[in-house]
A and B are shown apart, each in its own frame.
Chain A
Amino acid sequence: MTMSSDQNPLSLSLHPSPQKTIWAVGGGKGGTGKSFIAANLAIYLSSFESDVVLIDADLGGPNLHTFLGMNHSNLDLGHFFSNKIKKLKDTVVFTPFDGLRLIKGTDRTPFMANVNYYKKLKFIRHVKAFDAKRVIIDIGTGTSYNDIDFFILSNPGLLVINPEPTSIENTYYFLRTCIIRILKSHIEYHRFQDLVRRIAEDTEDHSRSIYGFLKAITAYNKSYAQILFKALENFKPCLITNKAKEDRDYLLGESMVDVIQKYLVVKVKYLGAVPYDENVPLSLKGLTPFLSSYADSKAAASLKDIAKKLLRQPE
């Protein structure tokens, strides 16, 4: 049994070479603008980088191509998951943007959201090996194992929230699920089997007590606790507020960072707020990508600012 906490227990991590970044956009609640953020970050990056790949891993309801102003294509992720195409890179389609390629989600294969564990690992392996400097994955709504794992394994995961109670509630639920997943996977990997039962009892039924659980582990075995602390320390998601309207909406992200640090024992970095822009639905209706059509808007400036902050992120 190894006692090192550097290895990721999920057998494959999405942490590639330092020159390559893989960002996953998620957050639990539907309609917050995850696909909008993912698509426009990718469009902006492709304006100065030549190898950006956008992957629509919203397996239950993909529509990233629409944000890029594209229609259906013959190739999509369904071909890879159903083994009709062996390599993920062969499902790539070109987009109207020079440096940007897309792996489209599938809307033709039913029940795609339920891909099994081995297919998920295969997908992660292929994403990691992908010949692209920037990979952005748009993950689905909800807290399925697939969504959570894509989010945890990216560097970093981007949480997109709206200044609405339902979005906040789902974000905290999503984060708690991520924390439990991280703790559980490390416990299983390091074979602290005697603790598995305890973590299930302590954190799933009373999900507010992550602090209490970690304290209990510290009392029980300090070296186990160190491994779990380190695992949580390595989980560094970022937060983006989308559709901000009032002054308090711009403060919300900073406030949530404080709440998360104090009560969920995880450090989150706040990247900024994207103001609400009524032209977003208009650009969607016209199948014209927002960043191209409204490049001088405040929302576009915020998106560019967020991308720059992400590129400055330490590994």
Chain B
Amino acid sequence: MAIKKIEEMDYYEILNLSQDASPQDIERAYYLGKATYRQGSLAHYSLLSERERWYILRKIEEAYQNLKDAEKRKSYNLKMSLKSSDKESRTRYRRSTQKLEIEDADEKKSLWRRIKFLLFSPKKK
């Protein structure tokens, strides 16, 4: 379970949408968000400070401006996928390095020795 602060949420999470949301979904989520966090809305009564309310409204606006425009959305999605693949590849690299150093190093070396021995050792006549 990912528990995220508003500041850490991406545009889709801010609008409570999946990444394959249609333009109509985006439009609807935007208007629902605006209605939810507008001044005087009952939905946030007693729970949010004025500052929190103002901040989430700003984030909703920002998310909508970036997702409603097809070009901006495409480049945002690309940025998101690059970010996640970069994170993934860095994780893999780190893991494989650790594994190589701790567990596999000797074994690989001995395997290479065995292969070399099989391929290049002079055959007994």
Contact call A255/B41, Cβ cutoff below 8 A: yes
A164–B43 CA distance with the chains assembled, in angstroms: 10
A258–B44 CA distance with the chains assembled, in angstroms: 10
How far in angstroms is the closest Cβ of chain A from B44? 5
Q: Knowing A214-B3, A233-B1 are in contact, say whether A172-B46 is a contact too (CB < 8 A).
A: yes
Contact call B35/A251, Cβ cutoff below 8 A: yes
Does residue A121 face the partner (Cβ distance < 8 Å to B)? no
A258–B29 CA distance with the chains assembled, in angstroms: 10
* Residues 1-58 (chain B) with a chain A CB within 8 angstroms: 1, 3, 5-6, 9, 16, 32-33, 35-36, 41-48, 52, 56
A232–B43 CA distance with the chains assembled, in angstroms: 22
A261–B9 CA distance with the chains assembled, in angstroms: 12
Contact call B47/A258, Cβ cutoff below 8 A: no
B residues in contact with A311, CB < 8 Å: none
Contact call A172/B36, Cβ cutoff below 8 A: no
Question: What is the size category of the interface that chain B forms with chain A?
Answer: 20 to 34
Does residue A256 face the partner (Cβ distance < 8 Å to B)? yes
A255–B28 CA distance with the chains assembled, in angstroms: 12
Q: Knowing A259-B44, A259-B47 are in contact, say whether A251-B3 is a contact too (CB < 8 A).
A: no
Question: Interface size (A, Cβ < 8 Å)?
Answer: 28
B residues in contact with A199, CB < 8 Å: none
A214–B47 CA distance with the chains assembled, in angstroms: 18
Contact call B3/A262, Cβ cutoff below 8 A: no
Contact call A168/B46, Cβ cutoff below 8 A: yes
A residues in contact with B32, CB < 8 Å: 251, 254-255, 258
Contact call A229/B56, Cβ cutoff below 8 A: no
- Among A165, A255, A263, chain B packs the most CB atoms within 10 A around the CB of A255
A163–B43 CA distance with the chains assembled, in angstroms: 9
A residues in contact with B6, CB < 8 Å: 262
- 8 Å CB contact of A215 from B3, B33, B35: B3
A residues in contact with B43, CB < 8 Å: 168, 252, 255-256, 258-259
Contact call B36/A255, Cβ cutoff below 8 A: yes
Q: Knowing A172-B47, A258-B32, A258-B33 are in contact, say whether A165-B3 is a contact too (CB < 8 A).
A: no
Q: Mark A12-33, 1 if CB is under 8 A from B, else 0.
A: 0000000000000000000000
Residue in chain A with minimal CB distance to B33: A258
Q: Knowing A211-B3, A214-B3, A259-B36 are in contact, say whether A165-B42 is a contact too (CB < 8 A).
A: yes
A30–B111 CA distance with the chains assembled, in angstroms: 75
Contact call A230/B35, Cβ cutoff below 8 A: no
Contact call B45/A165, Cβ cutoff below 8 A: yes
- 8 Å CB contact of B16 from A172, A230, A261: A261
How far in angstroms is the closest Cβ of chain B from A86? 42
A residues in contact with B42, CB < 8 Å: 163-165, 168, 252, 255
Does residue A169 face the partner (Cβ distance < 8 Å to B)? yes
* Residues 255-272 (chain A) with a chain B CB within 8 angstroms: 255-256, 258-259, 261-265
B residues in contact with A165, CB < 8 Å: 42, 45-46
A residues in contact with B3, CB < 8 Å: 211, 214-215, 229, 265
A positions within 8 Å CB-CB of B = 163-165, 168-169, 172-173, 208, 211, 214-215, 229-230, 232-233, 248, 251-252, 254-256, 258-259, 261-265
10 pairs of residues in contact across A and B, judged by CB atoms under 8 Å: A168-B42, A229-B1, A251-B32, A251-B35, A252-B43, A255-B41, A255-B43, A258-B43, A259-B48, A262-B56
